[in-house]
């Protein structure tokens, strides 16, 4: 079956513009994560959705970042007034259950803010 | 809440062994290990649940010491295909949050 799909794969935007990144998780997966990976850095946790529970937003770096997950499926990560330091690869992952389950990653969106 | 990995980088010759360590300051429910090759998405290796179990995956195995909140990944008789960045991910206990948090990774290069 299809894996986690992210779009766009690459995005170049001007500083100050808003961007939306999309993630289509594997069908039936209840948990969805967003991570940010900067050059040579680890996987920085951003936000975690689990079923109908309130999302864990503890990793969002500023109020310019927000995310939503509609109908327990597709998720959108929005970055407002982008800054150059937002340049990174944004990875989405989904898991079939909320605990101790393999995370399936998408190929990521490479965001470049110029 | 981010686990700490060590070492940051390892260079091996083919056939040599390596150990990658992961430690956390919080009580853990599980530890995950993933490998990421350059330009690709991370790929799952294994999960260890609290209970101190050890799991194996061909010549790659791992242990989890719940009391010390530490996990180690063991790569034996390394192959060229083992090259990549290894990440440990941790899920906390009931009072530590459930989100899967990853360390900064360990870069492993296996040379001929």
Give the integer Cα–Cα distance in Å for B90 and B84.
20
* A89 has a pLDDT exceeding 60: yes
Name the minimum distance, in Å, from the CA of A32 to any CA of chain B: 10
A54, A62, B21, B107, B111 from B104: Cα distances, Å? 27, 21, 12, 10, 23
Give the integer Cα–Cα distance in Å for A84 and A66.
17
Extract the tokens encoding B111.
């040379």
Spatial neighbors of A71 by CB under 8 A, at least 6 apart, are none
What pLDDT is recorded for position B67? 86
User: Residue A102's closest CA among B90, B32, B88?
Assistant: B32
pLDDT of B44-103, one tens digit each? Answer: 999 998 766 666 667 899 999 888 899 999 999 999 999 999 999 998 866 556 789 999
Three-class DSSP category at B17: coil
Residue A83 phi, psi dihedral angles, 5° rounding: -120, 160
B106-111 and B9-13 strand pairing: parallel
Which residue of B30, B42, B47 is in closest CB contact with A105? B42
pLDDT of A74-85, one tens digit each? Answer: 999 999 999 999
Q: Quick check: B69 and B23 in contact, CB under 8 A? A: yes
Interface residues of chain B, partner chain A, Cβ below 8 Å = 1-2, 29-30, 32, 34, 40-44, 47, 49, 87, 89, 91, 97-105
């Amino acid at each position: 079956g299809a894996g986690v799909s992210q779009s766009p794969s690459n995005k170049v935007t001007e500083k100050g513009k808003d961007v939306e990144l999309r993630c289509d998780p594997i069908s039936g997966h209840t948990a969805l994560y967003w991570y940010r990976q900067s050059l040579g850095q680890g996987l920085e946790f951003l936000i975690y959705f689990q079923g109908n529970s309130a999302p864990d937003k503890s990793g969002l770096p500023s109020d310019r970042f927000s995310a939503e997950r509609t109908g327990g499926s597709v998720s959108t990560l929005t970055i407002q007034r982008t800054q150059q330091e937002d340049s990174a690869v944004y990875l989405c992952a989904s898991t079939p259950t909320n605990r101790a389950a393999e995370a399936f990653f998408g190929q990521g969106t490479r965001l470049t803010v110029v | 809440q981010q686990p700490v990995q060590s070492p940051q980088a390892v260079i091996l010759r083919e056939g040599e062994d390596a150990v990658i360590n992961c430690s956390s300051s919080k009580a853990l429910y599980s530890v995950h290990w993933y490998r990421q090759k350059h330009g690709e998405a991370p790929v799952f290796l294994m999960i260890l649940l609290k209970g101190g179990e050890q799991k194996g995956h061909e010549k790659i195995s791992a242990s989890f010491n719940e009391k010390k909140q530490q996990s180690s990944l063991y790569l034996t008789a390394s192959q060229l295909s083992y090259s990549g960045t290894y990440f440990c991910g941790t899920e906390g206990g009931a009072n530590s949050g459930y989100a899967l948090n990853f360390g900064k990774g360990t870069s492993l290069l296996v040379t001929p």
